[in-house]
Each structure stands twice: as C-alpha cells, then as structure tokens.
Structure 1
C-alpha cells in the first residue's frame, strides 16, 4: 500500500480536490468528529493531511498526522501552513510512541485491511493510541455497498473487478483525476467484522452513519446527480469509544 501511494501522491491530492466523492466524505467527517475544542487528535492514514487540517479547524488543541507512505507525509507537510500539525511516517498497526489521544480519526484506513485479523491489528493500533474514554472516528467502505448496484463513476470511482473473500469482498478500483487514474485494491468488510475487531481491542461496537448531501452542495449539481450515492452508498462512517480497560488486541501492548 505504501509503495502505491508513494508513486501517486500528487495525483491523489488532485483526486481529493477535483472529484465529487470528497463532498459527502468531508461532511460525514465533520458530523462524526463534532466539537474537538481543546482535544488531542491523531489522524491515521492522513494522506496529504486534509483531515488533520480539518480537525485543527474544528478546534483541536493538538493534531498529529500519520501515514505509511513517506511521499504522502512529505505532501502533507508541503500542503500545511505553519507547524501546528506534526506529521510522521508510520504503520497504523504499530504506534508505540503515540498514546493518550482524545480522538483518533481514520479516513480510508480499515478498507485496506486484507483480512479480518489485519483489520483487528489496525483497530489495536488505534485503540492503543487512545486514552480511556477516547473516541475512534472512521470512514470506510459501507458494509452493505453493492458493487453490482448503481455505480459511482460520476463521482470519480470506477470498480473494475470484484472477488468474494470470507466475510467481505475485494474490490479492484480506480480513482479518476484530471491527469491519470489511480488503481487501488480495497476491501468491503461485513459489519460484524468491524464489530469484532473493535470489541476485541477494548472499544465498544461501532455506531454507523452514512453521509448526506447538504442542500447548499446539492444545489451546485444537476438534478438527481447524487441519486446513485443515496441508493447505493459506498461511503460509511462509524465511531466507537475505548473503555477504561487496557486494549486487549494482539498488538496493543505486545
């Protein structure tokens, strides 16, 4: 995953600033995150830092961004004015130096897990970085997304191939940008895979939420433009809270 993003860092930035998908994605993030005034926020899979910057704009006192791709981290530093956000290259499954955050955000992290155990390892990394009572906020592929249903091509995503895997699907997709398409492999996991991964690591079961298109945004597009997104949501978000007990996942303290 890191090698692919190292190769397409600037194209991914273009996707985030030109495609339609980030419209509902950003609104969902805003609604899930809520007021973080005075809180410490860790942004996993930070990419070029968009959601780290949004967390800062929503009042966070401290924001740290982490990505497995060194090129993405370099891009995040270039795109972020000043030094209010610290960016690090690291694997979200192994964050031994990052602890006691009030909120951990993970936008498009868990969909890269290649198995339920891999997803649980990612959840362990997130849980280990949270203080007791801290909150995980994530955006991922909707567990009920139907690759054979209404497509998301107009929003900037093309599904090329779908393969069943136990308790989910592997999706070979591409993201459309003005200069190139970005090929990616992501996974759609069933909701119970997420529930097991979170509870196994000291978090409560996810509370799911789908995005909505604000009226002012909908007015910018042609009538019925967002119908496919509403009928077959690709994007879903969830939040869950870390309990008082120490996370018990395999990598939480090993």
Structure 2
C-alpha cells in the first residue's frame, strides 16, 4: 500500500538517534513497556522496525511489526534478513492475530487519522489485537503542544497549523534536522476525543502519561539541551488497558 512514508525509511531509522527521541521518547516508552520477557508484542505502525528490535532484545517471545507503508516494511524486512532475530514483519492484519497480544505499541500512528471515523477505526483495530488483560501504549500529538512553528525547530522538526487545537485540524510536520527537509501531514485530536475513541474501541481505562527526562546517559546534558522540549513536549503517552475477563 502506498503512503506518504514510503520514501522515508532511511530518515526514520536515523531519527532514532535524534536527541529528543534518544534521551526522552525511547527511554520513556521502554520504561512504560516494562518487563516483556516471554510476552507477545505487536508494533503497530512499526516503520523501519526500530522498536520491534528493541522489544525482541528485551526478551519478548513473539514480536510482530506491522506497517502499511511499502517502503517502511521493505526496509524492516531487509534489516531482519541481514540480522535475523525472529521478528515477523507484515503489511496486512489477519484474523489469526486478533486478541492474542499481551502488548500493542503504536508510536505516532494516531496523528495520521484524518477523520473521527478513521480515528475510531484505528483505535478499534489496535484494541482488537490486544488480549484480555493486555495493554496498548500509543503516542499521539500532545493535546497542549506548542503551536509556534519554530518552538520544536531546535529538535529537528516544525509543527505548522493554521488552526491549532482544532479537532481533526491539519498539522504539517516538517522534518528539518541536519540535511533533511521532509513534510508530512498529521491531524490534531484533543485528549477527550482520543480517550473517548479508545474507550469506545474496547479499552477499560486510558491514562495520559507525561514524558520525563531520560534516566540513562548524561542526564544533565539531556536536561540542558532539551529544556524547552521537556516543558512543552510535542507528544504524550497513552497507556490503555483491557479488562481481564
């Protein structure tokens, strides 16, 4: 399936090393993921498979990476072929995957739902993969992100919107780190709309968790370099739980 991300695989792989991801986002996600030894994990919107590989390194028994972007999934499969660790990369979800995963992780997928219907469909699809008692961890655009286009420029990107904080309003994401100059379209959804869609999709609880600074590496350097980002992060984390039946 073609998508606006088909040609961005190399960029997305490189983005894992950008300071705001390396020192804040990734450690936060992994801390919330916790001990996954022996568990089954699906990486929803896996991109190049970076998180999928991290989950496998941390002892997940089964890891499935799913993405609809042909370019992304091709890149992820190539990495698995070069260094096989037992990750399955797929571009279609089949009924055999329903209600079997202990954990589903969807990093930056909700912002690409353009309508309420698409948002609910995405939430419902992710919920349908999670087993009873399981969890979804997903990162939307922070409901209170800074609308100043230049605010996030020091961290490698700009968020540009003609009507900030409008439900379903377009946000142009411009990636401007190093020699990159790439634009993709995302959409804004408030905390209340996101939570309502996730509850309707089948989760019994949805908790918004704020990003905090890394507990790894040079914390003082991270705090100094990313001081303003920490004040107004562009993303938050939602932890969604399915009631155990």
Tell me if TM exceeds 0.5. Answer: yes
Q: Is the 8 A contact 1:34 1:58 kept in 2?
A: no
How far apart are 1:202 and its partner, in Å?
A: 1.2
Distance 2:32 2:62 in 1: 18
* Structure 1 unmatched runs, 5+: 246-254
Q: After the TM superposition, which residues 9-48 of structure 1 pair with which residues of structure 2 at under 5 Å, given as runs?
A: 9-17=9-17, 19-23=18-22, 24-48=24-48
* Count of equivalent residues: 240
TM-score by length of 1: 0.86
Distance 2:35 2:54 in 1: 11
1:48 counterpart SS class: coil
How far apart are 1:55 and its partner, in Å?
A: 1.2
- Residue 191, structure 1, aligned to residue 191, structure 2: yes
Q: Is the 8 A contact 2:149 2:159 kept in 1?
A: no
How far apart are 1:114 and its partner, in Å?
A: 0.8
Cα distance 1:148–1:178, how it changes in 2: closer, same or farther (>3 A)?
Answer: closer
How far apart are 1:11 and its partner, in Å?
A: 2.3
- Residue 127, structure 1, aligned to residue 153, structure 2: no
User: Residue 89 of structure 2 corresponds to which residue in structure 1?
Assistant: 87
Distance 2:156 2:134 in 1: 34
Distance 1:224 1:177 in 2: 19
Q: Is the 8 A contact 1:107 1:138 kept in 2?
A: yes
TM-score by length of 2: 0.89
User: Residue 6 of structure 2 corresponds to which residue in structure 1?
Assistant: 6
* Structure 2 unmatched runs, 5+: none
- Normalized per residue, which structure has more strand? 1
How far apart are 1:208 and its partner, in Å?
A: 1.2
Distance 1:169 1:161 in 2: 8
Distance 1:105 1:9 in 2: 19
User: Residue 160 of structure 2 corresponds to which residue in structure 1?
Assistant: 160
2:172 counterpart SS class: strand
How far apart are 1:101 and its partner, in Å?
A: 0.8
Q: After the TM superposition, which residues 221-236 of structure 1 pair with which residues of structure 2 at under 5 Å, given as runs?
A: 224-236=224-236
Q: Is the 8 A contact 1:48 1:72 kept in 2?
A: yes
